[in-house]
Chain A
Amino acid sequence: MIEILHVSKSYNKGAVRAVDDLTLTVPPGEIFGFLGPNGAGKTTTIKMIVGILKPDGGTIRIGGLDNRLEALRTKAMTAYVPDEPEIYERLKGIEYLNFIGDVYGVSASDRRSRVARWLDAFELSRAAGDPIQTYSHGMRQKIILTAALMVKPRVLVLDEPMVGLDPRSSHLLKEALRAHCDEGGTLFFSTHIMEVAERLCDRIGIIHKGRLAAFGTMAELQAQAKDKASLENIFLELTEK
C-alpha cells in the first residue's frame, strides 16, 4: 500500500542529507512502526509520504499511485496526523471536523456517526463546540485524530500520535489502529515509545542518519542484533554509532 523507492531528501542545498536512498514497502493490513533518534529523518519521510515535502529523488506510491503524479487520488486515500497539533485555533472543534469532512467528501450521516463515536471515546463531546484555542495540547491532538478517523482512509500516517494523550485515550487509539489494519487499512507511524512499537507493530523500521538501519518483524530485528533483550536495546545498539 505504501511503497517508498530510493527516496532522498536533503536540506541546505545538499549540505544536510535528511533521507538517503530510503526504500521500504508497507503492505495493506500492516502496522508499520518507524523509529529513529531525533533528526534521523522520520518526520521528513512522513512529510514526503503525505506530500508536504518534495523528495529530491525517488518515488513514493500509495495504493499503487505515484503521490506526486496522482496527488489528489493519493491524498484522498490518506489521512495524516502531524507531530505538532498545529490546527486552526480560531475554529471550533466541530467546525474543524466539518471542514475536514467537506474536503474529504465524507457524507453527513457518516460524519455524524463517526464523529459521535470518536468524540465520545476521546471525551471531547463537551468541548467540540468550543474554539480550538481553548483546548489543551492533548485535546488538539485528539481532535486531529478524530478528524483522521472520521475520514476512514485506507492509509493512516501518524507522526508520534501518542504524545500528549492520556493513558485511556492512548489505549483506545491503539485499539482503533489495530482495527483499522484488521479491516485491510495501512498504518505508518513514528514513535519514540519502544513499548508501543514492540506491542503494536507488525513490522518495524529503524532510520538512522537518513538511512534504514534495520527493517523487519520484531523477531527479524532480534536476529540481527547482538543484544536481543528488547527493542530498546536493539534501537540503542543500531543508533549509537
Chain B
Amino acid sequence: MSPTAALIKAALNSNFGWSAVRHRLLVQKRDRWMVPLIALAVVSVVPTLVLYVRLLSAGFDMLQSLGQEKAMLTLAVLSGQLIILIFGLFYLIATFYFSRDLEYLLALPLKPSQIMLSKFSVVLVNEYLTIAPIILPLLIVYGVKRRAGLGYWLVMPLSYLLLPVIPLTVAGIAVVGMMRLVNVGRKKDLLIILGSLVLIAAAFFLQFGLSRAAGTSGPDPQKIISLIASPDGLVQSIGRRFPPAIWATRFLHNGLFTGTGLAGFALFAGVSTLLFGVLMAGGQRLFFGGLVGLSERSGGGRRSKAGRIFRFSSGPHPIKAIFLRELRLMNRTPIFLLNGVLGVIMVPFLFALMPSSGRPGDDRTDIMRLMTAAKPATAVLVITLFMVICATLSGVASSSFSREGRKFWISKVIPVDYRRQVLAKFLHSMAIAMLGLGSATAVVLFRLHAEAGKWLPGLALALPVTAFLTSLNLAVDLARPLLDWISPQKAMKQNLNVLIAMLLDLGFLFLYGLAFIKLGKSGLGLTPVLGTMGALGLALAGAGYALLTRFALRRYPAIEA
C-alpha cells in the first residue's frame, strides 16, 4: 500500500473508530446496548424522512406543471454545497490544525500535501454523511418521479460524490491561507477565532447573495412569468451566481451522452479537479507554515517576567473553581468557543439576518403579526420553542464531560463531591444557554417586533424548560462520555452524544408543544394555560436536576478514565 493510501486508511479508521468499535463490540463485548439504540434512532427518523419525501414529491409535481422540474436538481446541488461550505469551515479548521495526531504525523517522512489529503478525506466522508439525509432523497425523488433511465442512476452517485469537492476545496483554500496568516505572534488563538468568524461571515453573505439571486427577496410577477416561460428559467435564476449548480443540473438532467450534459460534467469535474489541485499545491506550500507555527508554542517562547506576583484565591470554593475551569477551557479552546459560545449567539442572529427587509409589510414580519393577533397563545409557544432551541441545541451541555477528554482523571481524584461537580457543570451550561436566550430574545424583540405580552411569557416559559433540557443533555453525556478523542471537533460536533441529546430535546419539545396546544384547545384562558405550562416547566426542571445528581453519584465512579 502506498504511504498516501495507508495514511488515508489510518485517518479514516482513527476518525470513525471502526477498529475501536469492532474491538469494543466483538472483543471487549462492551457497548452492545448501543446497537439497538442506534437502530431505534434510525427507525425514529423514518417518519420525518417519509414526510420529507412527500414534500419533495409535491414540489416536483408543482415544478413539473410549470415545466421547471430541473430546478429541483439545481436546488439540491446548491443547498448541498452551501451546507458543506459553512459546516466544512469548522470541520476543516479542527481537522487540519487541531487534531492530536498531527504532532506525530509531522515527524513522519510525509509531504504536507499527503497529510492534508488524509485529513481532507476524513472531512469529505463526514460531509457525505452530513448531506446524505437532505440531498439523497432529493436526487432519488427526482429520478423516480421523472422515471429516469439507467443513465441518470449511473450519473447520480457520481454527482453526489463530486458534490462536496468544490465547496470543501474553496473552504480548504480559505482555511489554509487564513491559518498561515494568523499563525504569527502571541495571540494566535484570538486570531484564529477572528479569522474563522470572518470566513463564516463571508460564507453567509455568499449564501444571502445566492438566495437573492434565487429571487427570494420579493415576488415580481413580471419576473416570474419570464422565468416560467423559459425551460431553463428557474435553473438559470437559482444558479446564475453559482454556475456549478447549473452544470450539475445539465449533466444530471440530460445525461452524459448529450452535448450539454457532457459539457456540464466536464466543467463540474474540471473545476472540482482544478480547485482540488490548487488546494493541494497551496497546502504543499502553506500547510506546514500554519501548523508548525501552532506547535512552536510548546517550544517555550518568551516567558513571563521573573519576580511576577501571582494572585492566589482567597479560600476554598470548589464549585466556583470548577465553574471557572469549565469557562476557561471552553473560551480558550477555539473549536469549543466557535461551536459552543459563538454558536448560541450566532444562530438566532442568522435567523435575523435572513433575507427579508424587516419592515412592516415584509412577509415574515407580517406572518408574526397575524399569528400574534389571531392566536396569542400560539405566538407565545413559538417564541418559547425558538428561545429554547437557540439556548440548548449548541451541544455545550451534551459534550460537557466529553470535553474533559483524557483530563477526566482530575475530576475523578479531586476531593469534590460529584453532586458539586455536576452543579458547576450545570451552572456553566446554563450560563451559555442564557447567552442563547438573550440572543433569541433580542431577535424576537428587534427583528420580529413581538409585544411584551408575548415575549415575556415566552421567556418565562423558556427558562425552566432550558434548565430541564440542560440536565437532560448533561445526563446523556454522563451516560457515555467520549473521553478519547484526537480532535476537539470530535468532542463536540462529531460527538454522538450531542446528536442523541438533540433528538431527545426535539422529541421533548414536540411533546411540550402538543401539551401546550391541547391545553389551549381545552377551553382554558391564556393565563391558566401559561401558568400550567410554567408550573410543568418548573417541576420538570427540579425533577430533572434531582435525577441528574442521583445519576451522577452512580455514574461518576463507574467511568474509568
Contacts and interface: CB of A to CB of B under 8 A. Distances in A.
Interface residues of B, number: 46
Contact of B321 (A78, A99, A111): A99
B413 A102 contact: no
A232 to B, nearest CB: 31
A94 to B, nearest CB: 5
Given A78-B413, A91-B325, A102-B313, A71 B557 contact: yes
A72 B417 contact: yes
A127 B303 contact: yes
Interface in B307-321: 307-308, 310-318, 320-321
Q: Residue among A52, A86, A94 with the most chain B CB within 10 A?
A: A52
A50 to B, nearest CB: 5
A102 B321 contact: yes
Contacts of A135: 298
Q: Residue among A105, A128, A134 with the most chain B CB within 10 A?
A: A134
A170 B558 CA distance: 35
A54 B557 contact: yes
Interface stretch (B125-133, B369-377, B403-411, B439-447): B403-411
Contacts of A87: 407, 410
Q: State the majority secondary structure of interface residues on B.
A: loop
B328 A94 contact: no
Interface string A66-104: 001001110110101010101110110011001111111
Interface residues of A, number: 52
A107 interface: yes
Contacts of A76: 415
B301 interface: yes
Contacts of B328: 88, 90-91, 95
A88 B561 CA distance: 15
Nearest to B306: A126
A125 B307 CA distance: 8
Contacts of A84: 406
A107 B406 contact: no
Interface string A195-235: 00000000000000000000000000000000000000000
Interface string B289-312: 000000001101101111110111
A128 B321 contact: no
Contacts of A104: 316, 414-415
B313 A52 contact: no
B28 A12 contact: yes
A183 interface: no
A51 interface: yes
A184 interface: no
A73 B406 CA distance: 24
B27 interface: yes
A80 B304 contact: no
B406 A86 contact: yes
A130 B332 CA distance: 13
A176 interface: no
Contacts of B329: 88, 90-91
Contact of A128 (B297, B298, B304, B406): B304
A213 B354 CA distance: 71
B320 to A, nearest CB: 7
B313 A108 contact: yes
A144 B272 CA distance: 50
A84 B405 CA distance: 14
Given A90-B329, A95-B328, A104-B415, A54 B298 contact: no
A133 B303 contact: no
B308 A72 contact: no
A165 interface: no
B29 interface: yes
A106 interface: yes
B333 interface: yes
A24 interface: no
A159 B532 CA distance: 56
B325 A88 contact: yes
Contacts of A82: 409
The 3 closest A-B pairs by CB, nearest first: A102-B321, A105-B316, A129-B304
8 contacts: A13-B30, A52-B561, A91-B329, A103-B414, A107-B316, A125-B306, A127-B300, A134-B301
Given A86-B406, A95-B328, 20 more contacts: A12-B27, A47-B560, A52-B409, A68-B557, A76-B415, A91-B325, A91-B329, A99-B325, A102-B317, A105-B318, A105-B415, A107-B315, A108-B313, A108-B315, A126-B303, A126-B308, A128-B310, A130-B303, A131-B297, A131-B332
